[in-house]
Each structure stands twice: as C-alpha cells, then as structure tokens.
C-alpha cells in the first residue's frame, strides 16, 4: 500500500485551515527529470470523480502541493495507467514512502475527471482489519496491556504537569524583508523570507513571498488575464492575484547551501534585509 489518509494542515502559507481529509494514492518521482508528483482526492468527494494532482515538496512530516503545467501532466497520466495495471517501470518511476507523512499543505494543485477512484483506493489506501475469532480471544490480554499502558501514560501526564518545561526546546524564527526592483517588468516589489531553525540552530526551511503591487488597474488585469507571469518569472511555486489590492504574490520555498544560524544572519545583514527575530518552544 503506497497511499495514506492525511489531514490538511493549511491551504497556503497564511494558515487558512481546511477541515477535510485527503486520500493520497501515491507520491512518486519521475526519474528522468527528478520531479516529484502526487495524485489524490478528497476523502468525502469520491462521488465527484475528480482526481487531483501536482508537484510536491517534502517538508519534515508533511507534503506541500503545487499545480503543474500541461507539459508535465503526461508523466502523471503515464504513471496512473501503469500503476492501475501494476506495471510501474522502476527505471522510469520511483514510488516514495509516505508512511511517516501525516499532513498535507495544499498551496495549489490541478484536477482531472477520473472514474477509477475506487480502483486507486483499493490499490493504495490500507483498510481496517476484520476481526476474526482468534483475534477476539486475545481481547482480554490486550485489555490488560492497554490498562498498563494507560497507567504509565497517566504517570507521565502527572510528571509533565509538575514539570511543564521538561521537553521544551527553544527554536528561532527570522522574518526578513527587502525592497527590490524587477528590471524586466519595471516594477518595485517586496520580498519577505520566513526562516526557521531547529534546536541545534540548523536551518529547517525558508518560505518566501514576493509581492508585486501594481499602480495601474488596466496594467494589472492585462498582466493577470494574459498570464504574463509565465513570460517574466521562472519560479516553481504558487502565483496568487489579489484584485482588491492589485497585487501579485509569488509563494515558494527557497533552497540554500547556508545551514548555520549565525552564517544566515550575517548573509541577510550583508544583503540589506531588515529582520525581526523571535524564539518559541516546541
């Protein structure tokens, strides 16, 4: 079984929560170009015959989805066909283990009509085990074990109540902004980076938001309606337009070779970023 039911932690970087659960059928890599993809549907939408797909970024115990172009969709279609026929070519595709993944962040994704969701579900999603007579006889032993475990857990809860900071780990987060100018579209923009570190002050991830504010409404709608972002930007991420404020937001994760807190802080200062810093326990 290569799939899993995951909860949605957020639909975008601003934390808009969705209460639904997602049935992820498979996460896989197309080996030729090393792009990662996901196929999924919403747990309560099987009757709609909609299959959703996109590229993915693996982040700790979650996956982040982004929509893909029609050129890349052919790799998804070929995988689905071979997957349903149990003929996935290991030289072309690698199915990724998501057993340790427990949530998904839906930044953006694509969809298609698909009438074989049940087949994908049967192939991918683990089903609850049916109780047999043998397992029923083992219930008393299991109940005793559960009782012991509950007593141990109760003792642990009491200990943590009396020692609330026993497992606390203090970690740092930096939020840095910089005003830039894009020569291609002749427009100023603001870039904001949210940089998180672990308890060892090692870099965890960098979430970036670039905001382009248009001053002319006609220019804004021309840029949006004609999808001119494809002409000027080569960023893998989410492009979101805000009609109320005439803004384009580009949201993506940034990769860097810098891994140490002090080195990152020095680099951002050198690049003239204005940073604020906060610490919290996790």
DSSP state of 213: E
Predicted local confidence at residue 80, as pLDDT = 96
| H/E stretch holding 149 | helix 139-162
Q: State pLDDT tens for residues 40-59.
A: 999 989 999 999 999 999 98
Predicted local confidence at residue 135, as pLDDT = 53
Calpha distance 274→175 (Å, rounded): 8
Is it the case that residue 276 has pLDDT exceeding 90? Answer: yes
Predicted local confidence at residue 60, as pLDDT = 84
**Total Cβ atoms within 10 A of residue 220:** 20
| H/E stretch holding 19 | none
Predicted local confidence at residue 75, as pLDDT = 94
Calpha distance 87→80 (Å, rounded): 10
- The distance in angstroms from the start CA to the end CA of the chain is 32
Name residue, tokens 């810093």: 277
CA atoms within 13 A on the CB side of 56: 27
Q: Are 175 and 193 in contact (CB under 8 A)?
A: yes
Candidate ranges 8-12, 133-137, 185-189; pick with highest mean pLDDT: 185-189
Q: Which of 37, 115, 121 is nearest to 72 (CA)?
A: 37
Predicted local confidence at residue 120, as pLDDT = 95
**Total Cβ atoms within 10 A of residue 230:** 10
Residue 140 token pair: 């008393």
Average pLDDT over residues 236-250: 95
Of residues 266 and 132, more confidently modeled? 266
Which of 98-102, 141-145, 171-175, 273-277 is the least confident region?
Answer: 141-145
CA angle 83, 68, 258 (to 5 degrees): 105
Phi, psi of 237 (to 5 degrees): 180, -160
The pTM of this model reads: 0.47
**Total Cβ atoms within 10 A of residue 259:** 13
Calpha distance 173→192 (Å, rounded): 13
Is it the case that residue 13 has pLDDT exceeding 60? Answer: no
Which of 11-20, 38-47, 56-65 is the least confident region?
Answer: 11-20
Predicted local confidence at residue 167, as pLDDT = 67
Is it the case that residue 166 has pLDDT exceeding 70? Answer: no
CA dihedral sign of residues 209, 213, 219, 224 = positive
Kindly indicate the confidence band of residue 169, based on its pLDDT and cuts at 50, 70 and 90.
Answer: confident
Q: State pLDDT tens for residues 200-219.
A: 999 999 999 999 999 999 99
Q: Which of 172, 170, 210, 174 is nearest to 195 (CA)?
A: 174
Q: Which of 98, 35, 15, 108 is nearest to 63 (CA)?
A: 98
Mean pLDDT of the chain: 89
Predicted local confidence at residue 87, as pLDDT = 94
Measured CA to CA in angstroms, residue 230 lies from 6, 38, 68, 216 at distances of 32, 23, 12, 20
**Total Cβ atoms within 10 A of residue 233:** 17
Predicted local confidence at residue 10, as pLDDT = 59
Is it the case that residue 16 has pLDDT exceeding 60? Answer: no
Predicted local confidence at residue 138, as pLDDT = 56
Which of 144-153, 241-250, 258-267 is the least confident region?
Answer: 144-153
CA angle 145, 151, 152 (to 5 degrees): 90
Kindly indicate the confidence band of residue 190, based on its pLDDT and cuts at 50, 70 and 90.
Answer: very high
Is it the case that residue 118 has pLDDT exceeding 70? Answer: yes
């Amino acid at each position: 079984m290569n799939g899993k039911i995951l909860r949605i932690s957020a639909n975008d970087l601003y934390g808009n929560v969705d209460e639904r659960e997602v049935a992820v059928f498979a996460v896989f890599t197309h080996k030729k170009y090393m792009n990662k993809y996901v196929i999924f549907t919403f747990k309560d939408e099987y009757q709609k015959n909609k299959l959703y797909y996109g590229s993915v970024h693996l982040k700790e115990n979650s996956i982040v989805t982004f929509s893909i172009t029609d050129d890349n969709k052919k790799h998804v279609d070929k995988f689905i066909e071979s997957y349903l026929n149990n003929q996935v070519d290991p030289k072309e595709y690698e199915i990724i283990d998501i057993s340790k993944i427990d949530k998904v962040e839906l930044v953006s994704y694509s969809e298609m009509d698909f009438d074989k969701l049940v087949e994908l579900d049967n192939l991918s999603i683990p089903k609850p085990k049916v109780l047999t007579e043998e397992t029923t006889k083992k219930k008393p032993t299991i109940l005793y074990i559960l009782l012991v475990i509950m007593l141990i857990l109760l003792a642990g809860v009491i200990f943590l109540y009396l020692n609330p900071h026993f497992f606390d780990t203090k970690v740092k987060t930096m939020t840095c902004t910089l005003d830039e100018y894009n020569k291609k579209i002749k427009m100023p923009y603001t870039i904001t980076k949210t940089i998180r570190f672990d308890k060892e002050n090692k870099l965890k991830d960098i979430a970036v938001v670039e905001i382009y504010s248009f001053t002319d409404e006609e220019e804004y709608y021309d840029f949006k309606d004609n999808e001119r972002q494809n002409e000027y930007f080569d960023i893998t991420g989410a492009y979101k337009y805000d009609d109320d404020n005439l803004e384009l937001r580009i949201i993506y994760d940034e990769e860097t070779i810098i891994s140490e807190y002090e080195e990152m802080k020095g680099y951002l200062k050198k690049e003239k970023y204005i940073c604020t810093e906060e610490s919290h326990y996790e």
